[in-house]
Amino acid sequence: MKAVILIAGALMAGILLGAYAPITIPNEWSKYVAVAILAALDTGLGGVRSGLDDRFDLAVFASGFTANSLLAAGLTLLGDKLGIDLYLAAIVVFGTRLFENLAKIRRLLLDRYWSV
Amino acid sequence: MKKGWELPVMSITVILGALLSTQFRSQAVFARQDLPSRRSEDLLQMLKQAEAEKDALSREVTQLRELRRHPGQSAGKQPEQGMPALEGPGIEIVLTDSEKPTGKGEDPNIAIVHNDDLLRLVNELRSAGAEAISVNDQRMADSSEIACAGTTILINKSRIAPPFTVRAIGGGEGLRSALGMRGGIIEYLRFYGIQVDVKVREMLTVPAYAGSTMFRYAKPVGKQS
């Protein structure tokens, strides 16, 4: 339970940081940022899942985040060059994985705190 | 399996939160600015709303000016500020676009009333001694423009469309003969097929000037303020 509170606090801190940082994202970049947000969300949930599962590996975690972000950004860039909305592929995949990870987290938490 | 998985996940979560709120903020800014990407129907709606608002405000301005003019100094002939509505004998000219179908190779542009035509007409009226002139209820003040704005014409920053009704207070017959002289403005306009209808009136009204009379830069010479 401590972990959940810590992570929620980190999210709040990040939101406050972004809200008061004197940066605005140019409109052309918003697609990339959207994909980056999904990559970060996916990595975060994946990390929580593996952490609750006691299978967390920092190398896998860090490399997964980097590789996923780079691939998503690369797809977006390629889509921009080709004139196709290729970033939708990244969004769909990340979206699916979000639900999968969330489902596993839910089961893990239920197993841990609810089962009789 | 390693201990301390919270810290890496937390760092990613901080990044996630920062990205989220920055993106939110930026998108909120763009949502206000993205006029070019709006649909034309929405733009039209916004334009109509803005114009209705502007009309209401300019009516209010005229009412308030009337109110300021009348109380107190109703007695005596003081020179009035601004340009109030005036009435008197004069001339009324209605200009309508040509209804002749344009032939082959003819520029359809010549068959419509342009801002230059109105400008020449107003100038002719002024040089013939007209005392007050309005075009489609826009009073011609010394700062009034007659500008081309696409399919309409801008006068006093308001868009007006044909038919154009020009009213001028002055000696009616004199004004008419000034316009109608050989090689004059009426002959010129009729040559291009524009329908010109001139009527001398015993009494006509020229509305008040509804625009701003405040100067931002100019001030009277020799006064300290």
Q: Residue B133 pLDDT more than 90?
A: yes
Subunit contact A18:B18, Cβ cutoff 8 A? yes
Reading the block at residue A61, the tokens are: 């975690």
Greatest Cα-to-Cα distance within chain B, rounded to the nearest angstrom: 105
Is 0.90 exceeded by the ipTM? no
Residues 6+ positions from B161 with CB-CB distance below 8 Å: B151, B152, B153
Residue B89: the pLDDT is 93
What percent of chain A shows pLDDT beyond 70?
97
Least reliable range by pLDDT among A97-106, B81-90, B184-193: B81-90
The Cβ-side half-sphere exposure at A97, using a 13 Å CA radius, reads 18
What are the residues of chain A with a beta carbon less than 8 Å away from any beta carbon of chain B?
A: 3, 6-7, 10-19, 21, 23-27, 30, 33-34, 36-37, 40-41, 43-44, 47-48, 50-51, 54-58, 61-62, 65
CA distances from B191 to A13, A112, B111, B114, B198 (A): 76, 94, 10, 14, 16
Selected residue of B5, B30, B34 to mutate for chain A interface (largest A Cβ count, 10 A) = B5
Least reliable range by pLDDT among A80-89, B33-42, B71-80, B133-142: B71-80
Say whether residue B163 is in contact with chain A using an 8 A CB cutoff.
Answer: no
Q: How far apart are CA B41 and CA B150, in angstroms?
A: 18
Say whether residue B80 is in contact with chain A using an 8 A CB cutoff.
Answer: no
With beta carbons under 8 A apart, name residues in chain A contacting B23.
25, 30, 33-34, 37
pTM: 0.47
With beta carbons under 8 A apart, name residues in chain B contacting A13.
14, 17
Subunit contact B26:A41, Cβ cutoff 8 A? no
Subunit contact A18:B17, Cβ cutoff 8 A? yes
- Inter-residue contact B92 to B165 (CB < 8 Å): yes
Residue A100: the pLDDT is 92
With beta carbons under 8 A apart, name residues in chain A contacting B18.
14-15, 17-18, 21
Residue A103: the pLDDT is 92
Q: Residue B1 pLDDT more than 60?
A: no
Residue B74: the pLDDT is 47
